[in-house]
Amino acid sequence: PLGFKPKEFLESRKNPGLGIKNLHKLGIKGQGRNIAIINNFRLFDHIEYHSSLKGYEEIGFDPTNYGGGSNGGFVSSFIGKTCGVAPNANAYYYAVNTENRTQVYHAIAIKKVCELHKKLIAEGKNGIDVIHIQRAISLDLFSAEEGYEDALKARKEAEDLGIWCNFGAVLDFKENPNIRLGHIYCKLDGNVDNPSDYIPLRALNSKWELIDNYKNALCFPCGAKTVSLDVKMDEYAFEHLSGPYASPFASILYLLAKSIKESITPYEFFEQGLKTGDF
């Protein structure tokens, strides 16, 4: 459009928004907290998050037939130095092969995270706070997939260790099963730090089409931001609307909460958000 300046727009949308930068000014940057990301992305040297990435491992790939990643760059941006919600947190990345809709490699990766968690604790460090997977594995919906039972067992082991398993934006709070994770995004002409410029992603033919369903939902931005690309080590792009991407924002924001109150649980995190939020 007339007067539109792409470079300025891209730069402004690196800001995670909603006051996160104010927390950073107070020194709340997720320092000492740890996240494990399990995805299928393999460009690990991007300038945005290279300093935050403390471990990288590939599982299940055929070295003679490498495909491209899909959304690992977006997820990794949340621990990035300019786009990040928790830029001082540590990330351990497990790139798994997801081409055949199997959960075998996810299960292996989760077990590796559990071992890493115990190793960090033994070294006197903080363990893994959250495992983030974009795919909703270990749900009944995918029970026919290879490796489903192994994924269930691995998830239970992680949860028994106190690790939040945030898989595919599907919340599992036995304390209150009505709590949901909602999706909002900032308007293209909006200010990312102004909550009034955010609108819900009201997906047609879903529960989110009805605005009342947001009353029990803690909402997180799901797109409309600049993120690192998985093509070149210094490239960025604008990602418009992507519903599942509210989930990594929640995972990384949880690290900020853990850096203030180490004993906080995922349920308490959501409960406090709903109590102090504004519908």
3-class SS string, the chain: CCCCCHHHHHHHCCCCCCCHHHHHHCCCCCCCCEEEEEECCCCCCCCCCHHHEEEEEEECCCCCCCCCCCCHHHHHHCCCCCCCCCCCCEEEEEEECCCCCCCHHHHHHHHHHHHHHHHHHHCCCCCCCEEEECCCCCCHHHCCCCCHHHHHHHHHHHHHCCCEEEECCCCCCCCCCCCEEEEEEECCCCCCCCHHHEEECCCCCCHHHCHHHHCCEEEEECEEEEEECCCCCCCEEEEEECHHHHHHHHHHHHHHHHHHCCCCCHHHHHHHHHHHCCC
Check: CB of residue 230 under 8 Å from CB of residue 66: no
pLDDT of residue 64: 59
Buried b (16+ CB within 10 A) or exposed e, 247-264: bbbbbbbbbbbbbeeeeb
Interval 38-84: pLDDT, tens:
987 767 788 999 899 999 999 987 765 555 455 677 888 899 999 99
Task: Report, as an integer, the average pLDDT of 227-254.
Answer: 86
In tens, the pLDDT along 150-168 reads 999 999 999 999 999 999 7
pLDDT classification of 190: cutoffs 50, 70, 90: very high
pLDDT per position as a tens digit, 202-232 = 776 676 677 777 888 899 998 899 998 877 8
**pLDDT tens digits, residue range 107-152?**
999 999 999 999 999 999 999 999 999 888 878 888 899 999 999 9
pLDDT of 110 reads: 97
Contact 126, 33 (CB under 8 A): yes
Q: Specify the pTM.
A: 0.92
91 in Cβ contact with 53 (< 8 Å) = yes
- Give the Cα separation of 40 and 66 in Å (integer): 11
The pLDDT of residue 137? 85
- Quick one: pLDDT at residue 69? 53
252-275 tens-digit pLDDT: 999 999 999 999 999 999 999 999
What whole-number distance in Å separates Cα of residue 74 and Cα of residue 93? 13
Cα(229)–Cα(226) distance, integer angstroms: 9
